[in-house]
Amino acid sequence: MKSAFARLSVLLALLVVRTAGLAGERVLFGFDDHSIPWQHNLKLVPVAATKHPQNPVLRRGPKGSADESHAILYGSVFKDGDTFRMWYLGMHEIATEPGRPPDSWRPMCYAESKDGIAWTKPNLGLVELNGNKDNNICLIQGEPHSLTRIDDFLSILYEPEDPNPSRRYKCAYIAHVPYDEIRGGLSSIGKRETAPCVTICATSPDGLTWQVVGDRPANASGERFEVAGLYRFGNFYYSTGQLLPPWTWRADGRDAGRIMLAYRSPDFVTWSQAKALSFARPGQLMNPPVAGQQTHMGAGLWNRGNVLVGLYGMWQDGPTDRPAGVDRLWGTHIDLGLVVSNDGVHFREPVTDFKVIPRGAKGEWDSVALLQGHAFVNSGDRTMIWYSHWDTGGPTETMEIGLATLRRDGFGYLSSKETGEGGHFITSTIDASNRIQQLRINAEGVTATSPLTLELLDDSDRPIKGFSGVDSAKVTVAGTQQEVIWPKTKGSKLPIGRPFAIKATFPRIGDV
């Protein structure tokens, strides 16, 4: 007979081994082939995010405001208690300051929201603009003053556990500092520009009033590194971003265009001069490379404890036969693709060139090029992601901030490759500790007659008594963050003090 579930498939988004605190959470995404390396008859289905109908959710301000020219999520969003907090870059033209070349100032602006959709721009009263301090600009202090003037991308890191309250918020951003204002100078590499593009680090007790770390740029080598990311993974802080030729190259010395590089620091004060090549689009490394394919501004990243996920800029050059009088970037477009890392240094695409957030259709507000931020929040059963638009070669007035959503952690799912056949996977070994408490799962398409079966194996792939065979757990109800109950113990607690792997067996769905 033909099953009522003949066209039903089981979707697995992630497993979470949860401990007493979030810092101990281990997330096993279905698209992470390091965490879930062993698979049989399964395929990965990537998922594009859904754009919010009210986009853009944060717009530029009125004339005279800090963000009158644009509001751009070269910045960060996270949720603190019941409040969404956003740091973004505004744009307001200012007069040239002594010792600085003609320039535009992009102030660090701040916004808050209760739902991530409707945002307010609080009056911080910290920085004077147009003769008053009635604005949402954060204050950055330091000497020389040129170190405090953000030119581009900023990334915020919140570490509430830092024993020094003044360092609990950390930031990295781009500044163009006149060479003669850089104390101690830079290497000869840095002398290629009169106002080198440098990385500045700052700390804050509240995320609103900041102090520059030291009195010189973090990247002492002076390479034109455009920092775009900041996170801590293991024993190091990492700053990631893009380098361009002649400051970067492929392994054989040939130019690669924009690629993602990483620097590291053990203390957020002293940064490495050596760097790691973290990610390049496959087409950039081919022989010959795919024309015009580049990696824009590294990636906006989300640290999930044991793994980093994020979105990178899928840059594609515009046509070479540009109309006369247009900007050099006319025709360039950028979509946002998914990357993942298990060591904090090397990143990869689960599905090459898949667009998690594609640019909009012609005539839509985000139709040309998209820009990623460090802006990911799990709220209820949704993952919320904020991003910006850039009209390459066009007016900056179109640069505002939008929202896209997924099912919670639903960047992709595993499903049976051949219908009517079962499948299974086995995770990498989990080093158990006395803090491990429970297993949670996201699943769809399961029923009482077609369950997802979970069991535990030891580090030699042998079933663990009490958590396998007749004692395996059955997931029969669709949903997110479902607690897995083991039938023998009638509880969710996992075995303590011994390593284990998780085996998930998909039901046979099809003709029966």
Say if residues 331 and 320 touch (Cβ distance below 8 Å): no
Which element (helix H / strand E) includes 407? Answer: strand 401-407
Ramachandran region of residue 392, left (φ > 0), alpha (ψ -120 to 50) or beta? beta
* Residues 214 and 268 reside in one and the same domain: yes
* Residues 307 and 418 reside in one and the same domain: no
CATH number of the structural domain spanning residue 273: 2.115.10.20
- 98 in a domain, yes or no? yes
- 34 in a domain, yes or no? no
Predicted TM-score (pTM) of the model is 0.93
* Residues 318 and 442 reside in one and the same domain: no
- 45 in a domain, yes or no? no
- 40 in a domain, yes or no? no
* Residues 286 and 365 reside in one and the same domain: yes
What are the C-alpha distances in Å from 209 to residues 111, 202, 213, 288?
14, 10, 13, 48
- 47 in a domain, yes or no? no
Question: For the CA atoms of the chain, what is the radius of gyration?
Answer: 24
**Nearest one of 369, 223, 193 to 296, comparing CA atoms:** 369
Q: Which of these three, 351, 380, 409, is where a domain ends?
A: 409
* Residues 246 and 334 reside in one and the same domain: yes
Q: Which of these three, 373, 389, 409, is where a domain ends?
A: 409
* Residues 294 and 368 reside in one and the same domain: yes
* Residues 399 and 427 reside in one and the same domain: no
Biggest CA-to-CA distance, the chain? 83
Q: Which of these three, 409, 443, 461, is where a domain ends?
A: 409
Distance CA 27, CA 307 (A): 7
Distance CA 411, CA 408 (A): 8
Q: What is the pLDDT along the chain (512 residues), one digit of tens a residue?
A: 333 322 334 555 566 666 544 456 789 999 999 999 999 999 999 999 999 999 999 999 999 999 998 999 999 999 999 999 999 999 876 433 433 333 557 999 999 999 999 999 999 999 999 899 999 999 999 999 999 999 999 999 999 999 999 999 999 999 988 888 888 877 766 566 677 889 999 999 999 999 999 999 998 666 789 999 999 999 999 999 998 888 888 888 888 899 999 999 999 999 998 999 999 999 999 999 999 999 999 999 999 989 999 999 999 999 988 888 888 899 999 999 999 999 999 999 999 999 999 999 999 999 999 999 999 999 999 999 999 999 998 877 889 999 999 999 999 999 888 887 889 999 999 887 656 678 889 988 889 998 999 999 999 999 999 999 999 999 999 999 888 999 999 998 888 778 999 999 998 864 32
Q: Which domain holds residue 390?
A: 53-409
* Residues 398 and 427 reside in one and the same domain: no
Distance CA 387, CA 368 (A): 13
- 3 in a domain, yes or no? no
- 41 in a domain, yes or no? no
